[in-house]
Each structure stands twice: as structure tokens, then as C-alpha cells.
Amino acid sequence: MSKSSFWKNPILMICLGAVVMGGGIWASNGAPLPKFGSPTSKYASLKPTVRVASVPGAGNSGNLGEMNATFSDLAEAVAPAVVTVTEDPSRGGGSGWVYRSDGWIVTNDHVVGNAKTITVIFADGREVEGKVYRTNDALIDLALVKVDRTDLTALQLTDSSQVRVGEYAMAIGAPFGLQNTVTIGHVSALGRGSNVNDPNYGIRGYAGMIQTDAAINPGNSGGPLVNINGELIGVNSTIVSSTMSSAGIGFALPANMVRAVADEIIATGKFDRGLIGAAIEDVKPYILQEQNLKGGAIVTQIPNNSPSYAAGLRKDDIITRLNGEQLHGELELRIALMEKSPNETVELTYVRDGKVREAKVKLTTPEPVAQAQPQPQLGNPFGDNGFNPFEQDRGEGFGQQDPAPNQRVVLGVQVRAIDDTVRQQFDLPSDVKGAAIMTISPGSLAESLGLKVGDVIVEINGDEITQLQDVTTSLQKSLRSGNVSVVAMRNVDGKMNRFQSQSPIR
């Protein structure tokens, strides 16, 4: 989804393959393994027992012929570990890859949906039924599938904290149902994040994703993104595109996150994680330099009923250590907390106004995510309102036609039902009902309407908004009139003001 167009058109977040980072990078330069999410984690003994064969000539770029052979050898070495995952073998489904030789497979949660069992199709054509293990976590779009096999070739995971922009990357999966498809590109950027609407689950959050220009399309979801040594750097999960096909901007969940999640599910049969109860982001480089910090995560939002607030943390504090271990960024803190359990107490070191402070925080649990009802199609296979540039790939089979651009209207917002957390965040009275705007895409229809984060949409095209599904349904009336009308409520100096705005659709 190109940046110039996706802000103006609801962009599909196509949750695709597996991007895990290449361990050969840290192995070759002798750098120490990270403290969090690394092979030294509490589930280190659960590492794959069979590795992909070494790739002849890997990393040798002496001439074009050798490089060409390296890519071909790489594709052949990785292919046996890549699978197609589907609820119905007659459709393309999504992708996955073998994490352990004794039958553990990783894919995206949005690929398996609510299925208890799934069909796994291996590279040699064999089909096996597998049991699904979900994270049940809106911020973790990962799932494991267990099949009854012990002879599988598994991918090795790299330390994704060592992935560098510009490295070669190869994606393998089943785009549009075309199994064992290989595409090659580079790591385009690191640390990308987004929120995405999954109509069958709710709003998903993504953090620390690896961006790549290797072509990934619907059906690649859950498949691997590997480095030049055949090591997993990430799980392909999303794309930016206005056409439901690759525009050269795809995203993968990093290997270190995958490792932390998979090892816990294998060890315990489920996944849980602790939360400090605060929104965090990477610290801008100039702030780190000004404060002479090695790294950390800055608190961007912190509800006053959260455990971290009770422990003394506030907005703009920079968390630099967890239990005495240095943190280099937001993702490292997130992965560290994935390896902790709810109700466990951790010690956070943070900086405020140049002074180092410490706090003991009792971790809480993620809020349960209500299962959303399937949305009407209306030309969009995801039933999505297009609240941001990313939408998810539901693993549609080969041959499905792309929806015409004029078959849907995109507002360009992320909305959330009003609960106690939202009311507190935006200081909303108890009698206000509607859909609260959490984010707005630059250049979107919502921006042209003058909407802002914190506004509550109460009416669209004359229809009252009582639940999130009403937003998508009411917007479609604009296809007939060519205009959209929105009524919203806004908190101005403690008073809720009602206003109406109209704009032609684009």
C-alpha cells in the first residue's frame, strides 16, 4: 500500500508470512546474545532439534553467478520447512513454517481464526491435520499448530535485534494459493508499528515489525522471512497496499518475539504475559543523546488506575532497565514482559527530568478482547472500515477478484467502543455513546472532515452509531450520494460540544 495513496483509500492489512531474523548475523560478528527473547530464555531447551542444511556459498557475493547460486541454494534449503495452513484444502489459505522437528508449526493467529484444528500441507504434498494453539492476545498475531510428525526440517531463528536495514531477505509462502512461492528483497526498515482491524477478532496491535520489499501477498500470512543464511528473521504478517497485492511494503513480526511466544506455548500449552499498564514507544535518538542514555522506552500514555501509575511512573518517563538489565528499545521491553507472568513483580529503572528513579510494579493481565461479529462484505473481503493504512489478509484463495475502489468508503480512522478506559483517557461523561476515534490517518477522509483523536462519532449519514459495525455500514450510503456526513462529540475544556461536518468522498 503506497504511502501517497493509502492515506486516501482504506489500505489492506494483509497478515502474511513469517519474518524471523538471521542468527548468523550475531554468530558471525561474535556479538553477545540479548538478555530478552533470546536463545538463553527460560525455554531455551525447546529449540529446534533439526536445522535447515547450511547453504553452500551463503554470504559469498564474489560475482553474480555465485550470488545467483546462493539464492537458489537458499530457496531449496528453506522450502521443506515451509507449509500451507488452511481450514479448507480447496482454498489457498495462509502460510506457516516448522519451528521444531517434532511437529510444532508457527503461523499467524488471523490465519487460523477460531479453528480448533487446521489442515497443514507440506512442501512434498502431504496433508496432516493439526491442533491449533492460540495466544488469545490482541497484540500477538501468532498461533502454533501441532501435527503428529517427528521427522520435520525446522527453521533456525536468528537474533532479530541484530537485523540491519539493507540486508537481503527472502519470503516463502502461498500467495493467492500458489504454494512454495519465493520472493527476494531487502530489509527496508525496523521497528514499525500499527493497529489493524480484524473483523473476526477486534483491533490488533503490532509493534517492532520488520519492513521488507520482498513481495508478500494475501496467502503469505504466517510464512517465513529469512536472511541470506536461511535463518528466520520474522513472520510475514501485514502489507500496505491499496490494491490487495504487494506494493513493496510488507511487515514481519520479529524472530525474538516469535521465540518468546512459541516456547511458552510449547512448554505450558498456553500463552500469558505481564503488562505494566502503560503505552510505550521507542525514544527518539536526539533525546537519548541529550540525556546521555544507552536506550529505553518512553511512556506515552499511562492510565491513573494502572499498576505502573500506582508505582510512581508518569507520562514521558523513560524506562531504561527491567530487573537491572539494560533496555535498548520498546520491543526489547515488550519481549521481556512476554517472558513474565501476570501478578509477578518487576523492578523498573526510569529517568525523569534527568534523575534516575526506581519503581516496583506488579504486572497485570491484558484486557480480554471481545470477539467481533463478522462484518458485511460490501466489496471488501475484510469488512473493514479502513481505519488505518493496514488491513489484514484473511488468506483468500487464488483467483479472487480485487474489489473495485468505488465499492467502499474509507474514513481513515481507528475506532474503539467506549469503555471505562476510553472514558478516562479522553475524559468522556458516562452518558456519551458512540465510537471513539483512537487514531487518524494523515490525508484521510476523516482529516478532511476535521475529526480529531478523542472525538466520539455519534452519527454517520443520518444513522445513529451505537456499535462499531455501524460505522462501516453507514459509510456505504456515501456511495450513492457521493458525500459523507459525520456528527461527532468533542471535549473542549471539560464540555462536550456536538458538531457536524460533511465532505465529498474521494
Which of 345, 362, 379 is at the close of a domain? 362
How far apart CA 12 and CA 143 sit, in angstroms, is 21
Task: Identify the CATH number of the domain in which residue 48 sits.
Answer: 2.40.10.120
What's the CA gap between 262 and 133, in Å, rounded?
10
**309 and 222: one domain?**
no
pLDDT over 80 at 32, yes or no: no
Residue-wise pLDDT tens digits, 353-394: 999 999 999 998 865 443 333 332 222 222 222 223 233 332
Together in a domain, 251 and 295: no
Assigned domain for 248 exists: yes
Judge if 325 and 445 occupy the same domain. no
Does 96 lie in the same domain as 39? yes
| pLDDT tens digits along 451-469 | 988 899 999 988 899 888 7
Residue 406 pLDDT > 70 = no
- Does residue 489 lie within any of the structural domains? yes
Q: Are 117 and 46 in the same domain?
A: yes
Q: Say whether both 10 and 78 belong to one domain.
A: yes
* pLDDT value of residue 35: 43
Q: What is the pLDDT of residues 281-294, one digit of tens each?
A: 899 999 999 999 99
Same domain for 283 and 264? Answer: no
Which of 223, 242, 268 is at the close of a domain?
A: 268
What pLDDT was estimated at residue 304? 83
Q: Give the residue with greater pLDDT, 363 vs 402.
A: 363
Is 301 inside any structural domain?
yes
How confident is the model over 116-132, as pLDDT tens digits?
A: 999 999 999 999 999 99
Q: What share of the chain has pLDDT > 70, as a percent?
A: 75
Q: Tell me, yes or no, whether 144 and 87 share the same domain.
A: yes
Least confident window among 5-9, 183-187, 216-220, 427-431: 5-9
Query: pLDDT band at 41, cuts 50/70/90?
Result: low
CA angle 415/420/422 to nearest 5° reads: 30
Is 395 a domain residue? no
Q: How many domains does the chain have?
A: 3
Q: Which residues are catalytic?
A: 110, 141, 221
* Residue 384 located in a structural domain: no
Look at 16-30, 64-78, 191-205, 225-239 and tell me which has the smallest mean pLDDT: 16-30
In a domain? residue 173: yes
340 and 426 co-located in one domain: no
Question: Does position 333 have pLDDT exceeding 70, yes or no?
Answer: yes
Q: Are residues 93 and 219 in the same domain?
A: yes
d(CA 39, CA 368): 30
Residue 376 falls within a domain, yes or no?
no
Task: Judge if 222 and 102 occupy the same domain.
Answer: yes
Which residue among 228, 247, 268 closes a domain? 268
Cα distance between residue 418 and residue 467, in whole Å: 9
The CA distance from 229 to 322, in Å, is 32
CATH number of the domain enclosing 426: 2.30.42.10
pLDDT in tens, 284-321: 999 999 999 999 999 988 888 888 999 999 999 999 99
Joined grid coordinates for residue 214: 520482498
Q: Please check whether residues 106 and 157 belong to one and the same domain.
A: yes
Q: Render pLDDT for 91-115 as a digit per residue (tens, 0 to 9).
A: 447 999 999 999 999 999 989 988 8
Compute the mean pLDDT over every residue in the chain, rounded to the nearest whole number.
78
Range of the domain at 469: 409-504
On whether the CB atoms of residues 367 and 213 are closer than 8 A, the answer is no
pTM over 0.75: no
Mean pLDDT of 225-236: 95
> Which of 83, 109, 86 lies closest to 96 in space, CA to CA?
83
